[in-house]
């Protein structure tokens, strides 16, 4: 099997003259990957907003595909602009990895991407784990001189969560363990940071499932993590959050293709569409739908189109076994569920020494403000700043929403300077 050996990557901005695009500059990354068969694959990722204000879309353009060449030329006046900051990436081979709840990830692999440069002291690293279904490319919007993390100042490491399709994933491994925990992810990420030469984590940052992992970073490695920024996440998955996740799991299990235990005979196309529609009712608030912001802000002509393009089609591109495995990781998340804290959540929270910023969304339907409010008194150095507005869970990942992005950026940058 041909597999990547190493990769080299650059990031920056290019220009678009296409009238269908509302922004003159387009963020990009260019990846050159050496393969085991001696070939080199070049991939370009572009991100843009359309003229109607819809959320940004990343598109992959690979040098071996003529169609993508043509598309790249359509949207780039210079196909290889001067890089704006260094971006590196690759796959860390972990070997056979025993997981906390039993089982082994055979030939475990951890994908990753890093933006910026690690300083000589090894202490300017921000670890930024991925959210549900996301890959490092999906999270890269948050890095840039005008975004949350300035790569001239910070070395931002984005590790790919297990079962996101880049790191070891349930859909690719018939022997994937029944449960891979957030702690399993974080312990693997620690090995990555050691390999990269990181001596101290300036901040563990994450959104949603990424926030769960960042909370685990602060609890499992309190002497290593200086700050934690928890955006729309919690230290232990709340009961009502589990009800939401149980509904998603039951949808997947109802698929005719489901063989049991999150394994599938083929991709359940109709079920994945249904999965997206169910998720749409939870990912955004009632007020978002009441105000019909899918029309006025996101540019959808009607509700049906919005549900199809933003939810149905998005989840249709996912693999069911990966959705199932990551949902179990999320459902079982608990920073105290380990030998260190023996299920005592208060003790785990009290052990966190990082300066911790909790940022729930005021209108999130599953990571509720009240959950973070209950955690706050047990943190030695914590603060809660709620994300305002009606965007529900989406408020924690607001790329394409200028006001919401500005609020998050201001809070994050201020905390990084604290």
> The domain spanning residue 109 has which CATH number?
3.40.50.1820
Average pLDDT estimate for 401-407: 98
pLDDT tier at 30 (50, 70, 90 boundaries)?
A: low
Assigned domain for 384 exists? yes
Average pLDDT estimate for 368-377: 98
| Shared-domain flag, residues 53 and 93 | no
Last residue of a domain, one of 75, 104, 124: 75
Cβ atoms 168, 105 nearer than 8 A:
yes
Structure tokens, 376: 């706050």
| Shared-domain flag, residues 159 and 197 | yes
Assigned domain for 286 exists? no
| Shared-domain flag, residues 69 and 105 | no
Last residue of a domain, one of 75, 101, 123: 75
| Shared-domain flag, residues 175 and 204 | yes
Counted domains in the chain: 2
Q: Which residues, including other chains, have CB under 8 Å from residue 104's CB and lie 6 or more apart? A: 96, 97, 98, 175, 177
| Shared-domain flag, residues 157 and 195 | yes
pLDDT tier at 293 (50, 70, 90 boundaries)?
A: very high
| Tens digit of each residue's pLDDT (9 = 90 or more) over 31-43 | 444 444 454 444 4
SS3 187: helix
- Give the chain's count of helices (H) and strands (E): 14, 14
| Shared-domain flag, residues 165 and 28 | no
Cβ atoms 9, 91 nearer than 8 A:
no
Rounded Cα distance, 46 and 61, in Å? 8
| Shared-domain flag, residues 229 and 349 | yes
Average pLDDT estimate for 86-103: 97
| Shared-domain flag, residues 57 and 97 | no
| Burial of 236 from C-beta contacts in 10 A (0-12 / 13-18 / 19+) | buried
Cβ atoms 288, 389 nearer than 8 A:
no
Cβ atoms 231, 372 nearer than 8 A:
no
Give the pLDDT score at 73. Answer: 32
Order of strands across the sheet that contains 227-231: 57-62, 40-48, 25-35, 4-15, 85-98, 104-115, 155-159, 125-127, 201-207, 227-231, 355-359, 382-384
| Tens digit of each residue's pLDDT (9 = 90 or more) over 347-357 | 999 999 999 99
| Shared-domain flag, residues 14 and 106 | no
Which one-letter DSSP state was computed for residue 161?
Answer: P
Average pLDDT estimate for 49-63: 37
| Tens digit of each residue's pLDDT (9 = 90 or more) over 315-372 | 999 999 999 999 999 999 999 999 999 999 999 999 999 999 999 999 999 999 999 9
Tokens 């992810």 identify what position? 185
Assigned domain for 312 exists? no
Assigned domain for 82 exists? no
Determine the structural domain holding residue 406 and report its residue range.
89-239+330-416
Cβ atoms 358, 372 nearer than 8 A:
yes
| Shared-domain flag, residues 52 and 117 | no
| Shared-domain flag, residues 64 and 95 | no
| Shared-domain flag, residues 143 and 195 | yes
Rounded Cα distance, 143 and 137, in Å? 11
Give the pLDDT score at 26. Answer: 41
Q: Which residues pair with 156 in a beta bridge?
A: 115, 126
pLDDT tier at 250 (50, 70, 90 boundaries)?
A: very high
Assigned domain for 167 exists? yes
Give the pLDDT score at 48. Answer: 38
Assigned domain for 346 exists? yes
Query: Residue 414: pLDDT above 60?
Result: yes
Assigned domain for 262 exists? no
Rounded Cα distance, 354 and 222, in Å? 7
Give the pLDDT score at 43. Answer: 45
Last residue of a domain, one of 32, 53, 75: 75
Assigned domain for 68 exists? yes
Q: Which residues pair with 387 in a beta bridge?
A: 361
Query: Residue 63: pLDDT above 50?
Result: no
Alpha carbon of residue 369 to chain centroid: 21
| Tens digit of each residue's pLDDT (9 = 90 or more) over 200-237 | 999 999 999 999 999 999 999 999 999 999 999 999 99
Rounded Cα distance, 19 and 360, in Å? 37
């Amino acid at each position: 099997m041909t597999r990547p050996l190493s990769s080299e990557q650059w990031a920056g901005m290019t220009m678009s003259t296409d009238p269908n695009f509302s922004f003159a500059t387009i963020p990009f990354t260019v990846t050159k990957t050496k393969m085991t068969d001696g070939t080199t694959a070049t991939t370009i990722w572009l991100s843009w907003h359309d003229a109607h204000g819809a959320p940004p879309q990343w598109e992959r353009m690979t040098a071996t595909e003529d169609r993508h060449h043509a598309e790249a030329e359509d949207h780039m006046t210079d196909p290889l602009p001067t890089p704006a900051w260094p971006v590196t990436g690759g796959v860390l081979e972990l070997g056979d990895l025993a997981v906390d709840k039993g089982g082994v990830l055979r030939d475990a692999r951890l994908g990753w991407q890093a933006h910026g440069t690690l300083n000589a002291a090894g202490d300017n690293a921000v670890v930024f784990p991925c959210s549900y279904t996301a890959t490092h490319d999906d999270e890269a919007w948050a890095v840039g001189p005008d975004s949350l993390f300035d790569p001239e100042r910070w070395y931002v490491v984005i590790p790919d969560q297990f079962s996101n399709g880049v790191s070891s994933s349930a859909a690719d491994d018939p022997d994937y363990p029944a449960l891979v925990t957030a702690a399993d992810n974080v312990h693997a990420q620690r090995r990555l940071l050691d390999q990269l030469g990181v001596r101290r984590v300036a901040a563990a940052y994450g959104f949603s499932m990424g926030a769960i992992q960042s909370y685990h970073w602060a609890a499992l490695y309190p002497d290593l993590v200086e700050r934690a920024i928890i955006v729309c996440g919690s230290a232990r998955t709340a009961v009502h959050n589990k009800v939401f996740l149980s509904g998603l799991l039951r949808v997947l299990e109802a698929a005719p293709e489901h063989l049991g235990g999150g394994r599938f005979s083929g991709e359940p196309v109709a079920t994945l569409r249904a999965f997206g529609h169910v998720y749409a009712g939870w990912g955004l608030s009632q007020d978002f739908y009441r105000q019909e912001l899918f029309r006025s802000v996101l540019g959808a002509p009607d509700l049906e189109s919005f549900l199809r393009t933003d939810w149905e089609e998005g989840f249709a591109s996912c693999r069911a076994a990966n959705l199932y495995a990551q949902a179990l990781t999320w459902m079982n998340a608990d920073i105290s569920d380990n030998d260190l804290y023996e299920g005592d959540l208060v003790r785990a929270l009290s052990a966190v020494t990082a300066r911790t910023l909790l940022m729930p969304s005021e209108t999130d339907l599953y990571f509720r403000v009240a959950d973070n409010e209950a955690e706050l008194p047990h943190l030695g150095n914590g603060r809660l700043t709620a994300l305002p507005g009606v965007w529900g869970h989406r408020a924690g990942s607001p790329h394409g929403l200028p006001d919401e992005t500005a609020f998050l950026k201001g809070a994050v940058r201020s905390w990084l300077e604290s």
